[in-house]
Amino acid sequence: MNLPLDALLQAGFSMPGGGELLLILLIVLVVFGHNRIPQLGDALGKGIRNFRKSFAKDETETTPTERDVQPLPEQRAQPMDEKLAQSDKNHVV
């Protein structure tokens, strides 16, 4: 949903100013306390690092070459008639 900038401004959406940021910081301080804020910052930083590492890992992954792929051993499936015949021989009354 792409709204033009004018529509967003008319709806009252804009970047918070200095007063709003100060109010948000004050609310965060009251809710979490001054001792917990550094822990939240560490957790947020680790989360962002892990998120970036996951994207970097996806870019470095490559597809296996023919040399890396091992062929599966061939298994011949018995036809169902042969299996039934063998099971009948084993279940002699």
pLDDT single digits (tens) 26-43: 998 898 888 888 888 899
Give ∠ CA 33-38-42 in degrees, rounded to 5: 135
Is the confidence at residue 65, as pLDDT, over 80?
A: no
Hey, what are 49's tokens?
Answer: 């690092």
pTM: 0.39
Question: pLDDT per residue over 8-27, tens digit each?
Answer: 677 777 777 889 999 998 99
Provide the token pair at 92.
Answer: 């002699």
Higher pLDDT, 67 or 56: 56
Single-letter residue type at 2: N
pLDDT tens sequence across 48-60: 999 988 887 766 6
